[in-house]
Amino acid sequence: MFFYFIFFALATPHGVLDSVTNEGLGIALLSRFDSSRHFFSWTPIMASPIGVKPFFSKCGLAAIKSELLWIWLPFSLLVVLSALIQRHKPQYIYACDLSEAMLEQLRKNYTHVETILADVRDLSLPAGSIDVVFINACYPNIVDKIGAFANISRMMKPEGRIVISHPLGKGFMHSLKESIPFPLDDFPDEQESDTLLKPFGFNIENFIDEPQLYILVATKMIK
């Protein structure tokens, strides 16, 4: 199943990806039968400029960052989680996101995962029911961090773990801020992380903060 998913992801039709870009004439996905062109209503990916010189311009670099954010980061997360799922075989898996499009894509490939369209702050899973929480490449987008981590602590079992990560680190996030229209928070350093998490009963076990890698692992302490 793991290798099937990799094959499926790599073989995703190019036209489907083009239909979520923000420029162009639209995609004629049914060109043999219908010449009309279409875009999806959700178009987060910046269109790449045509030509070698434009591709290496500021606009081209912004398009590359956009593809890293909306295509390769979610894909890398799914690959990592797929390996962990195959190894540990958890009884229940929940996927929480604010994007219905992302959740719908997940449901097509992982029918055993329960998807929840909600802010993590508003999740109503039972208290003490979660073993591990992964927050990969989305920590800067969490607006209410106090509310989010308070609710995560409520749902998590004693000695449960929370993993906050980004495979390209702070350096990528700093460069991304220059090309997107909405604000992004920085990843916290170790002292800031401790100040944020300790009031909710978390103790930092591992911390890596490199230009191209960020990983924080914290454990919920037993009261």
Q: Quick one: DSSP state of residue 175?
A: H
User: What does each C-alpha distance from 124 to 35, 111, 118, 188, 220 come to in angstroms?
Assistant: 46, 21, 10, 27, 19
Mean pLDDT, rounded, for 28-42: 54
Q: Read off the pLDDT of residues 85-114 as tens digits, 9 standing for 90 and up.
A: 556 566 788 888 888 888 888 888 878 888
Rounded CA gap, 99 and 62, in Å? Answer: 22
Task: Provide the token pair at 31.
Answer: 């060109």
CATH superfamily name and code, 90-223:
Vaccinia Virus protein VP39 (3.40.50.150)
Q: Where are the domains of the chain?
A: 1-89, 90-223
pLDDT digits (tens, 9 = 90+) for 132-160: 998 988 888 888 999 999 999 999 999 99
Query: Nearest 10 degrees: CA dihedral of 137, 87, 106, 120?
Result: -50
